[in-house]
Amino acid sequence: MGAQLRLLRRRIRSVKSTAKITRAQELIASSRIIKAQQRMEAAVPYEREITRAVSAVLSNSADTDHPLTVAKERPTSAGVLIVTSDRGFAGGFNANILREAEALAGHLRGRDIEVKPFVVGRKGIGWHRFRGREMSGEWSGFSDSPTYNHAKEIAEALVGAFVDENGIDEIHVVHTQFVSMLSQEVQVKRILPLEVEETTEEPVDGPLPYYEFEPTAGEVLNQLLPRYIESRIFNALLQSAASEHAARRRAMKSATDNANELIRTFTQKMNQVRQAEITQEISEIVGGANALADASAGKE
Amino acid sequence: MAKLRIGVVSPEREIWSGEADMVIAKTVDGEIGIMPNHAPVLGVLVEGGVLRIKRGDGDDVVAAVHGGFISVANNDVSVLAETAELGSEVDVAAARDALQRALASVGADGDDTDAQIEAKRARARLRAAGEEV
């Protein structure tokens, strides 16, 4: 067997085993997207209710000067929560987030605001470590199936730093929004201080009723706002998890397609080489036989 | 008579929803009973409270609710709980176990607030399950 033939066989075998891995990853990701989507949907009622409750308190009470809603006139430092994944194999998923986060950081620095990264996910942590950048907080190990307790832990750290006098003045979140199976967008949002919008427009589901508060509006707000932040962060984590699976599925699908394409061209090439080898052998045999025949004919 | 539309939700899932005649919850100010056409209220619930939903036909729903809020407006009642568990879902043995452990830690260290909260939660779960504590 020719050396080239052997080489091609070996490459085909190796590409085939890679294709098996990527195909398996693709299937795993597909099944996990559905789970992640269900968890996203399960969280919707709570998000809706808590948003409604926050709007109710803010629109009912005259003094909305809660520490979490008051913007500093000259913010000097901002925390940026960057939600990445723990594992790669997801195409440009993490690269896109980190690029947006860098853009935001550049923008903030342009306004003389110091940027303090809070990073979720091993990929983002690794990225910061590699560049020797200090992180104010890091969490990992749950990017593909976050629970509310994870969100709570992150929110506690962020709100703690925000409330602290020497802490941060703003909190931004950079995460991937799950739009559909095929499209996920990186979103950059400021979550603290909350923006209280003075609006004269009627809310969609009618004007909010005039609530009584137990015990007081201020106390309710004290309890509500941290829960609201937690819920926003939980939403970001869930969206990011679903997006991660969708990105991985897409990346692994194209990897599998490419591998199959490679196998096809290699097989063609291999068959060509095999044919050429056989043709050569035949012509050698025929040539040899002719030469023998000629030689014996010359003797007679 | 008008009915209340009730939703009990936690961040991770909707725990229960349906119609009922009366809801009794425990806010930081004390127990509050909500009947149809109640004035709009937004209240903070206590850690380790028991929520009772009376449905008239004797088929009451009881849930252990840990922290969160109750909001009432236009006969819509929503209970936002950080964690909540229906009485029928409570694992009684596990809850008793948790209560024992929490009480032991409180006994060892009277200032252990985490353990005190843990004990409250375990009690609420047991009460929701209809057990004597």
Least confidently predicted of A51-65, A107-121, A283-297? A51-65
Phi, psi (degrees; rounded to nearest 5) at A298: -65, -35
- What superfamily does domain A30-196+209-248 belong to in CATH? ATP synthase, F1 complex, gamma subunit (3.40.1380.10)
Tokens at residue B80, please? 């936002």
pLDDT over 80 (residue A205): no
pLDDT over 60 (residue A201): no
Q: A212 at the B interface (CB within 8 A)?
A: yes
| Chain B from 33 to 92: CB within 8 A of any A CB | 39-44, 68-69, 71, 73-74, 78, 80, 82
A148: number of CA atoms within 13 Å, CB side?
Answer: 20
For chain A, give the mean pLDDT: 87
CATH: 3.30.70.260, 2.60.15.10, 1.10.645.10, 3.40.50.720. Which one for B4-87? 2.60.15.10
Q: B44-93 pLDDT, tens per residue?
A: 888 888 888 888 776 788 888 888 889 898 888 999 988 888 888 888 88
Q: Looking at CA atoms only, how far is residue A173 from chain B in angstroms? A: 19
Note whether B42 contacts A212, CB cutoff 8 Å: yes
Using CA atoms of B94, B96, B99, B101 in order, give the dihedral in degrees to the nearest 10. Answer: -70
Q: A227 at the B interface (CB within 8 A)?
A: yes
Q: B7-48 pLDDT, tens per residue?
A: 898 888 888 888 888 999 988 888 889 999 888 888 888 888
Note whether B40 contacts A212, CB cutoff 8 Å: yes
Residues of A with Cβ-Cβ distance to B44 under 8 angstroms:
214-215, 219-220, 223
Using CA atoms of A181, A187, A193, A195 in order, give the dihedral in degrees to the nearest 10. Answer: -80
Least confidently predicted of A124-128, A226-230, A250-254, B107-111? B107-111
Q: A151 at the B interface (CB within 8 A)?
A: yes
Per-residue confidence band for A24, with pLDDT thresholds at 50, 70 and 90: very high
Which residues in B2-38 are b (16+ Cβ under 10 Å) and which e?
Answer: eebebbbbbbbeebbeeebbbbbbbbeeeebebeeeb
Per-residue confidence band for B131, with pLDDT thresholds at 50, 70 and 90: confident
Q: Are A147 and A128 in contact (CB under 8 A)?
A: no
Tokens at residue A27, please? 């299937």
Q: In what order do the strands lie in the sheet with A77-83?
A: A137-139, A114-120, A77-83, A170-178, A184-192
**Residue with more model confidence, B26 or A164:** B26
The domain spans of chain A are: 30-196+209-248
CB-closest option in A45, A209, A224 to B7: A45
Q: B93-113 pLDDT, tens per residue?
A: 888 888 888 888 877 776 777
Find, among B60, B91, B79, B58, the residue nearest to B10 by Cα: B79
Widest CA span in chain B:
53
pLDDT over 60 (residue A45): yes
Q: A241 at the B interface (CB within 8 A)?
A: no
Q: A207 at the B interface (CB within 8 A)?
A: no
**pLDDT over 90 percentage in chain A:** 52
Nearest chain A residue (CA) to B74: A209
Q: Are B2 and B72 in contact (CB under 8 A)?
A: no
What's the CA gap between A246 and A233, in Å, rounded?
Answer: 20
Distances (CA, A) of B45 to A214, B31, B121: 9, 9, 13
Distances (CA, A) of A105 to A102, A116, A129: 5, 9, 17
Q: B31 at the A interface (CB within 8 A)?
A: no
Q: Looking at CA atoms only, how far is residue A212 from chain B in angstroms? A: 5
The domain spans of chain B are: 4-87, 90-128
Note whether B43 contacts A220, CB cutoff 8 Å: yes
Nearest chain A residue (CA) to B41: A212
